[in-house]
Structure 1
Amino acid sequence: MDTTRRGRAKPLAPEERREAIIAATRPLLYEHGRATTTKLIAEAAGIAEGTVFRAFATKEELFDAVMEAEFDPSPFLDDIARIDPTLELRDRLVAYTTLLQRRFIGIFTLMAAMGLRKPPAALGDPEVRRRLADGGLATLLSGDADRFTVPVDRVVHIVRLLTFSGSHPHISDQQPLSPEEIVDVILHGVLTEEDRS
């Protein structure tokens, strides 16, 4: 017989409590989608079920907060900022593409679990697009502009398109491209060195 007792969750500030509940809910939504119950959420977060409703007025409000967190570019941009700018070009591109692919797969997985065909309208914020464009790959590639046959912003666009399509389960026919494959196609194409000359 299990005699261990789960203690009360340690006191957190309201915003910290909300973030903890969102973090505990995200993997549940991947698995159960909209069928996720507040009982499951409370167990995962190590809190009483009533605490969920003290942090969020409704379960739908919590689900919306999870979606908003999934689409928030801040963690992604923070990770990009940690990529070593002194790495070789291919290594920088692979590091970036790995992060972008992880972001896309997380979004695709959550949208599928929640039965969404497109991102919620409120999350298509032009400010998010601007932050992603200004703070991402273009900064990492700014010193390499003379090495490309197209402008850096076009390289960024190509990386994004190939990563999106190569990571989407339906577009890729469940055979996603690896970050290395994506980068090598962009930098070298698919011809051998001999055939490229």
Structure 2
Amino acid sequence: MTSIPQRAAPLPPDERRAALIASTLSLVLAHGPDVSTRQIAQAAGVAEGTIFRVFTTKDELVNAAVSSAFDPAPLLAELRDIDGTAPLEVRLVAAVEIMQRHTKRIFRLMNALGAAGAAGAERTHRQRVEHAELTHRAIVDLIVPDRDRLRCEPAGAAQRLKLLTIASSHPAFVENDPMSPADIVSLLLDGIRRRPGLGPQP
């Protein structure tokens, strides 16, 4: 007897919304904001009508997908999962790896959005500011246990690390040859680590 395939159980509302947002973000990164609801439905594995039971319009879904890229929660969760007992260098390399992945995705998104990205810059400004502040605090927390080894305060070290990571990951500066996380951390620590004969940095 031939068995009849069983349809997968529908996702709970929150999971269905998250799946639509994740699929839409992937499509926007690959093709820009002019993706169709049919493409989104296929990528998410749902019927096209399902989209409009969750979002009023396609634009609302695209906006939610773009906003999700600026959500600091996943990045912060990864930073906070770094082993705080590991050596400073190991902690910072792990942090740079995480920041580089996130930064590259943001650059790709802004490039994919083009003029639409510029038009939405004001809408996401508050998100970016909050994101930057939370990320900064998470990196400071990684550095604090070794503050006595440094010639500057942890907040200053965190700021330098973020700037080095962004500058060495931006495609306009490095094209297809970004610095490795280990090289970024080495450059940072060789500049701020205490050395014989050198006093504290003003």
Aligned pairs (5 A) from 1:1-197: 8-115=7-114, 116-117=117-118, 120-125=121-126, 126-134=129-137, 136-188=138-190
User: Which secondary structure does the structure 1 equivalent of 2:33 belong to?
Assistant: helix
Give the deviation of 1:113 after TM superposition.
0.9
Q: Single out whichever of 29-38 and 114-123 deviates more from structure 2.
A: 114-123
| Partner amino acid, structure 1, of 2:131 | V
Give the deviation of 1:101 after TM superposition.
0.6
Cα distance in 2 for residues equivalent to 1:117 and 1:174: 24
Give the deviation of 1:87 after TM superposition.
0.7
Q: Deviations over 1:93-129 (max 9, x none)?
A: 1000000111101111111111124863232224333
Cα distance in 2 for residues equivalent to 1:8 and 1:55: 20
Cα distance in 1 for residues equivalent to 2:54 and 2:91: 40
User: Which secondary structure does the structure 2 equivalent of 1:77 belong to?
Assistant: helix
Give the deviation of 1:15 after TM superposition.
2.1
Identity over aligned pairs, percent: 39
- Unaligned stretches of 5+ in structure 2? 192-202
Query: Do the aligned partners of residues 75 and 6 (structure 1) sit closer, same or farther apart at CA in structure 2, a change above 3 Å counting?
Result: farther
Query: Do the aligned partners of residues 89 and 49 (structure 1) sit closer, same or farther apart at CA in structure 2, a change above 3 Å counting?
Result: same
Give the deviation of 1:12 after TM superposition.
2.3
2:103–2:169 Cα contact (<8 Å) kept: yes
Give the deviation of 1:158 after TM superposition.
0.6
1:9–1:47 Cα contact (<8 Å) kept: no
How many residues matched? Answer: 184
Cα distance in 2 for residues equivalent to 1:28 and 1:13: 23
Q: Deviations over 1:63-114 (max 9, x none)?
A: 1111111110001111111100111111111000000111101111111111
Query: Do the aligned partners of residues 153 and 90 (structure 1) sit closer, same or farther apart at CA in structure 2, a change above 3 Å counting?
Result: same
Query: Do the aligned partners of residues 6 and 24 (structure 1) sit closer, same or farther apart at CA in structure 2, a change above 3 Å counting?
Result: farther
1:68–1:123 Cα contact (<8 Å) kept: yes
Q: TM-score, normalised by structure 2?
A: 0.84
User: What residue in structure 1 maps to residue 194 of structure 2?
Assistant: none
Q: TM-score, normalised by structure 1?
A: 0.86
Cα distance in 2 for residues equivalent to 1:132 and 1:144: 18
User: Which secondary structure does the structure 2 equivalent of 1:64 belong to?
Assistant: helix
Q: Deviations over 1:38-61 (max 9, x none)?
A: 111100111111111221111111
Cα distance in 2 for residues equivalent to 1:166 and 1:177: 6
- Unaligned stretches of 5+ in structure 1? 190-197
2:136–2:159 Cα contact (<8 Å) kept: no
Give the deviation of 1:19 after TM superposition.
0.5
RMSD (CA atoms): 1.9
